Amino acid sequence: MKLLGRYQGMNGQIEIVECSWDGTRVYFEEGIRQSQATPNGESVFTYVKLMDELLSRSERILVLGCGGGNLATRLWRLGNKVTVVDINPISFVLAQRYFDLPNELPCIVSDFRQFVFDDGGYYDGIAIDVGGPGFRFTEEFDAETCDAIRARLAPGGRIVMNVTVANDIDPTPDRIAARLAGRELRTWIVDEQCMEDRNAVIICVPEKQLGPRAALDRVLHHSHERWAIRRGRMRSRDLACGQR
């Protein structure tokens, strides 16, 4: 690997390296791989490609979390109206410098929670890809925050979120999915079973069915990974009962 740059971010040291075997670039934050993509911003991560497919037909999209900016870049190039929010301003600089994030794409420096509470806009799609060293998903995405995120959806809008899963019995994705969905949306989880510390994608949509599966299947089966789609195992009323 070739080190392209080392920077100090809000959550620790950021390193951008280039892989000699394929030319892709990796965004490391405190040693954790946050993004990996070609120099023109095409991600190699299956979960990013899946989020891209799920949101590609949404006209106005809010992306919470930048990193290398790969998801926002792809959606912008498809002609969607995209706004990116990240608390770490250097992420936007590095995404533009090393991953071809378009300069004209609106980038807002803010904590994602503060933004959704203060914002008055509505979006056809909301993408959530936040995290980093020490990030605690169940605490950051409490019921109040998830309600605020859902309140930013336009009629017929959808939420797609990347979350880290510790193991097969980790309830985190189902719990957050139920909070995000409330009583209005239906949930699916796209996951790779039997893997520790893996990514899973939460999908919250108003439709009773997830929609055409051919495009999703092409994304999921394009690699050696074993991803599968399942329904969410919790609903908002289950969480309410558990808090009594």
Domain 41-242, classified CATH 3.40.50.150, yes or no: yes
Q: What is the mean pLDDT of residues 97-119?
A: 96
Residue ranges per domain, the chain? 41-242
- Compute the mean pLDDT over every residue in the chain, rounded to the nearest whole number: 91
Q: Which two tokens stand for residue 142?
A: 């409490």
Query: 178: which residues sit within 8 A by CB, 6+ positions away?
Result: 187, 232, 234, 235, 236, 238, 239
Neighbours of 218 (CB within 10 A): 11
Confidence tier at 89 by pLDDT (50, 70, 90)? very high
Query: 209: which residues sit within 8 A by CB, 6+ positions away?
Result: none
The Cα 214–Cα 212 span in angstroms is 6
The Cα 153–Cα 123 span in angstroms is 5
Strands 32-37 and 25-29: antiparallel
Enter the DSSP assignment of 215. Answer: H
DSSP track, 154-200:
EEEEEEEEEEEE-STT--HHHHHHHHHHTTT-EEEEEEETT-SSEEE
| % residues pLDDT > 90 (the chain) | 71
Which residue would you say has higher pLDDT here, 223 or 193?
193
